Amino acid sequence: MRGGSLRLWRLGVRNLRLHPLRSSLTILGILVGVASVIWLLAIGQGISTAAQRQIESLGADNIIVRSIKPRHEAAQGSSRRLIKYGLTRRDVERLLATIPTIERGFPVRELKREFRRQDHLVDGRLVGCTPDYASVTHLQIARGRFLSDRDLEAKRNVCVLAAETAARLFPVEDALGRAVRVEDLYYTVVGVAEPRAPSAGIGGSLAAEDYSSDVYIPITQLWSRIGDTTVTRRSGTFEYESLEVSQITLRVEDLSRVLETAEVVKATLASFHQDQDYGVTIPLELLEQARTTRLMFMVFMGIIAAISLVVGGIGIMNIMLATVTERTREIGIRRAVGARKGDIARQFLVETIVLSIVGGFCGVAVGLVCGPATRVVRQLVAETFPQAVGNLPEVIREVQPEIVGWSIPLAFGISVAVGVVFGLYPAVRAAALDPIEALREL
């Protein structure tokens, strides 16, 4: 029995080798389908992973509250009155004092300012923060140090520069120990940060952030020397705005209590902010949403890729139907010498399965080079169309495909199943031929 099965497979391979071009094109259809499943799922996984890392960088145990300028204030902004909105220092104290599940809170104040060093000028963001800001935002220090508790308590005129800010203000000399001018104030540089890519906007209340032109100073120093009121000149008029805190990052002591703590934070702030001049972002909630979206995205990509396999299966059925017509005489002779219908059906079914298996193996091999191939293609496109590629979102320009382990057996299994399903009809049709009619083809 085993010898008969082996002869059946050998005969199937030999029959396929009689028409190498036809067999190769059929295998190519399966190859494209299998590779598509692996590639699309790998690209989807890479995009999803990048998005989840960005959310995880905010801290799953954090709650981020950010000041938002009310729309009616933005529309009615005038030089004749002071616009006051957003979070306050009292909000920070109130949240930490009344909500026991909050472990710590980190206020941040951001301002657009010009930074000067002799003839060098940089337009950037002045960030008043606490020493915990570096750990919360995963800011790495290249040289020197970050702000300390003593800097905060003494309201020292010290600062930490972002990498690009340091390079532009101090193109030749070392920035450490030098002074940077912010309006009429001078800050001594105590540290330079590592380069950091901009972050995309996450959630309705958390906008994209570019860390390249930042200068970090103690928030107590900013409050005491610069104050809360900013003046902006637009079209010959002046706009006065008062904002104490741009953002508060609250760290919850227990990850399982993040969501309920966020509800308490919202209720507490709602009692003191009638204009809804703040927004609450919950990274844990966003992370759960991202995981759900990832699953839906992967299923969608898998369905698209599976369609390619179905198309390849239709190609197999078409080729095998043509093969049945061409081999009518062979079928008649085999039936005349004693072959049963089952023998004929198995012969043609074996040939379709061989095509599917070979196409599946080749598709898996091509699918495994997804990462290197994507990098090569991306580099070629970037060199050919640099401006168009530069306008693409960062996640698209820098996405790294990640092979999903289960996509390989899934794609291969589907390819074999497709071969069996689409090979059944040609096999049954071949077995159903009348041997007398088939012999007339001689």
User: Would you state the pLDDT for residue 204?
Assistant: 46
Looking only at the bridges linking them, the beta strands covering 158-161 and 141-144 are unpaired
Of 78-82, 116-120, 163-167, which gets the smallest average pLDDT?
A: 78-82
Is residue 372 scored above 60 in pLDDT?
Answer: yes
Q: Over the range 303-329, which residues count as b (16 or more CB within 10 Å of their CB) and which as e?
A: eebbebbeebbebbbebbeebbeebbe
Which of 432, 425, 422 has the alpha carbon at shortest distance from 341? 432
- Residues paired with residue 238 on neighbouring β-strands, in sequence order: 233
d(CA 178, CA 176): 6
d(CA 19, CA 11): 13
- DSSP SS3 for 48: helix
Q: What average pLDDT is seen over the chain?
A: 79
User: Would you state the pLDDT for residue 60?
Assistant: 67
Looking only at the bridges linking them, the beta strands covering 82-84 and 237-242 are parallel
Site of tokens 């070629």: 380
Of 110-124, 171-185, 404-418, which gets the smallest average pLDDT?
A: 404-418
Domain boundaries, the chain: 2-55+289-439, 62-253
Sheet of strand 82-84, all strands in order from the earlier edge strand to the far edge: 82-84, 237-242, 229-234
* Rounded (10°) CA dihedral 249, 251, 256, 258: -30
Task: Give me the mean pLDDT over the 244-266 stretch.
Answer: 85
With a CB cutoff of 8 Å and minimum separation 6, the contacts of 261 are 63, 99, 101, 102, 250, 252
CA distances from residue 122 to 113, 140, 165, 275 in whole angstroms, order as listed: 8, 21, 7, 35
d(CA 190, CA 179): 10
pLDDT tens-place string over residues 24-51: 877 888 888 888 888 878 877 777 777 6
- Residues paired with residue 78 on neighbouring β-strands, in sequence order: none
d(CA 167, CA 78): 38
- Residues paired with residue 359 on neighbouring β-strands, in sequence order: none
DSSP 91-136: HHHHHHHH-TTEEEEEEEEEEEEEEEETTEEEEEEEEEE-TTHHHH
pTM over 0.75: no
Task: Give me the mean pLDDT over the 14-24 stretch.
Answer: 75
**What element of type H or E holds 82?**
strand 82-84
Note every long-range contact of 227-230, with CB atoms under 8 Å and residues 24 or more positions apart, other chains counting. Answer: 229/82, 230/111
pLDDT tens-place string over residues 61-104: 788 888 888 775 555 554 456 788 889 999 989 998 998 988 88
